Structure 1
Amino acid sequence: MEEQIAMLLVIAQTSGFLAPIAFILLHFLRQFLFIPVVVICIAGGVLFGTVAGTFYSVLGLLLSSLLFFVLIHRMPKTHGKLSNIKKKWFGEYRNLTTGQVAILRLIPFIHYHLLSFCLLERYRGFKDYMKASFFTNLPLAFFYTVFGEFISRFTPTMIVVILFSLSIFVYILREKLTVIKWRDFFKATA
């Protein structure tokens, strides 16, 4: 991970005034290069500072969400696979709220685009999806930009406490009502 951050630092420092554009495009291309979101957000904090790093990270993540919105409708097999993964992880009738997705995005090992898929299932329209994406990407970008340098100094106990606290927040922010259609209910019991 340190090698990836070092590579990002060298690229950004040598690109001068084009560094913010290169950084935003790196967020956009991140999913094809298999670079975790966390790594790029941490690099944004180191390169640009808290405010600018958060701003550039949010822009890049919104572009990534836009790309996901466009591509997922054109790839039915991927849509089906993400739907199956969502059912396995969160349950067939469970829809995550925007608050839950925002908190789950803070947990590094939960797949970014699976959570984008959960948002897409909840908000089918483009405007609502992008609005929800903005509100769920903002805490992610801010947290990892500001606290990026300090995360590496956390003890394992502190990491467990933080993850436990985040899981409590996910439970508190859950949707408290589940609607199951009549035919689905009797199909499941038959």
Structure 2
Amino acid sequence: MEDQMTMLLVMVETGGILAPIVFVLFHCVRQFFFFPVAVICIAGGVLFGTVAGTFYSMVGLFLSSIFFYVLIKRMPKTHQKLSLIKKKWFGEYRNLTTGQVAILRLIPFIHYHLLSFCLMERHRGFRGYMKASFLTNIPLALFYTVFGEFISRFTPTMILVILFSLSILVYLLRERMTIIKWREFFKEAA
């Protein structure tokens, strides 16, 4: 993780005046380099400070969400794979609420684009998806940018307490009612 952070810092520092643009664009291509979102947001706080780092991370995450929305519509096999993963992890008839996605995005080992896919299924239109994506990115960018310096100093016990607390929040923010269509409930076993 430190090697990834060092490489990111060197890349952005050498950008000079263009560093914010490079940083925002790096958010858009980070999934191809397998960088976690948290690492990039932490680097934004270190490089640009809390306010600017949060702003640049928000812009980068927003552009990444647009990029994902456009690409997933053009890749049906990837769409199908994400649907299967969502069903496996969260259940076939379970739709995550926007609040649940916001909380789950704070947990670093849950895939960012799987949660974007869950938002896409919940909010079918582009405008609704982008609004929900923007709202769920605010806690992510703010938390990792502001508290990035302190997160590395957490003890394993503290991390477990935080993850347990986030799990309770995800449960409390769940959707209380599930609607299953008649044909789906009584479908024949294949």
Q: Deviations over 1:6-28 (max 9, x none)?
A: 12212222211111000000001
Q: How far does residue 66 in structure 1 lie from its aligned partner after superposition?
A: 0.4
- Counterpart amino acid of 1:136? T
What are the residue-to-residue correspondences of 1:1-190 with 2, within 5 Å?
1-187=1-187
SS in 2 for 1:107: coil
Alignment RMSD:
1.2
TM-score by length of 1: 0.97
1:132, 1:117 → 2: CA distance?
12
Letter in 2 for 1:37: V
State the SS of the aligned residue for 1:51.
helix
1:187 alignment partner, SS class = coil
Amino acid aligned to 1:100: Q
Q: Which amino acid aligns with 1:41?
A: C
* 1:4, distance to aligned residue in structure 2 (A): 1.3
Q: How far has the Cα of 1:151 moved from its partner?
A: 0.6
Task: Look up the SS of the partner of 1:116 in the other structure.
Answer: helix
Q: Secondary structure at the match of 1:73?
A: helix
Structure 1 residue 188 displacement after superposition: 6.4
State the AA in 2 paired with 1:42. Answer: I
Following TM superposition, the consecutive aligned residue runs of length 4 or more in structure 1 with deviations greater than 2 angstroms are none
User: Aligned residue pairs: how many?
Assistant: 190
The one-character-per-residue Cα deviations of 1:143-172 (angstroms, maximum 9, x if unpaired) are: 000110111110000000000000000000
Gaps of 5+ in 1: none
Q: Give the residue type in structure 1 aligned to 2:71.
A: L
Structure 1 residue 189, shift from structure 2 partner: 7.9
1:93 maps to a residue whose letter is Y
Distance 2:75 2:128 in 1: 21
